[in-house]
Amino acid sequence: MEYGAIDLHKKESQIRIVTTAGEVLDQRIATTRDRFTAVFWGRPRMRILVEASTESEWVAQHLETLGHEVVVADPTFAPMYSERSRRIKTDRRDVAALADACQRGCYRAVHRRSASQRTVQWHLNVRRELTDSRTRAISLARAITRGAGLRVRSGSTASFLVRVSALDLPSSISETLTPLQRQIAILNEELVTADERFATIAAQDPVVARLTTVPGIGPITATAYVAALDDAARFGRAAQVASYLGLVPREYSSGEQQRRGRVLRSAHPYVQSLLVQAAWRVWLSKDPRTAGLRRWAQSLAHRRGKNIAVVALARRLARILFAMWRDGVPYDAAHTRPTRTRGAASIAVDVAAPA
- Residue 109: closest CA among 67, 80, 68: 80
pLDDT per residue as tens digits for the range 24-65: 999 999 999 999 999 999 999 999 999 999 999 999 999 999
Q: Would residue 212 count as lying in a domain?
A: no
pLDDT per residue as tens digits for the range 240-283: 999 889 887 755 555 555 555 555 666 688 999 999 999 999 99
What span, in angstroms and rounded, lies between the C-alpha atoms of 232 and 117?
Answer: 13
Say which amino acid occupies 258.
Q
pLDDT per residue as tens digits for the range 97-145: 999 999 999 999 999 999 999 999 999 999 999 999 999 999 999 999 9
Say which amino acid occupies 77.
F
What's the pTM value of the predicted model, to 2 decimals? 0.83
Residues 72, 119: one domain?
Answer: no
Residues 299, 267: one domain?
Answer: yes
pLDDT value of residue 343: 40
Q: Which residues, other chains included, contact 52 with Cβ-Cβ below 8 Å and sequence gap of 6+?
A: 72, 73, 74, 75, 110
Q: Would residue 211 count as lying in a domain?
A: no
Residues 154, 82: one domain?
Answer: no
Residues 134, 98: one domain?
Answer: no
Residues 190, 242: one domain?
Answer: no
- Residue 227: closest CA among 138, 111, 85, 92: 111
Residues 259, 135: one domain?
Answer: no
Q: Are 17 and 46 in contact (CB under 8 A)?
A: yes
What span, in angstroms and rounded, lies between the C-alpha atoms of 324 and 295?
Answer: 21
pLDDT per residue as tens digits for the range 222-235: 999 999 999 999 99
336-351 as b/e, with b when 16 or more CB fall inside 10 Å?
A: bebeeeeeeeebbbbb
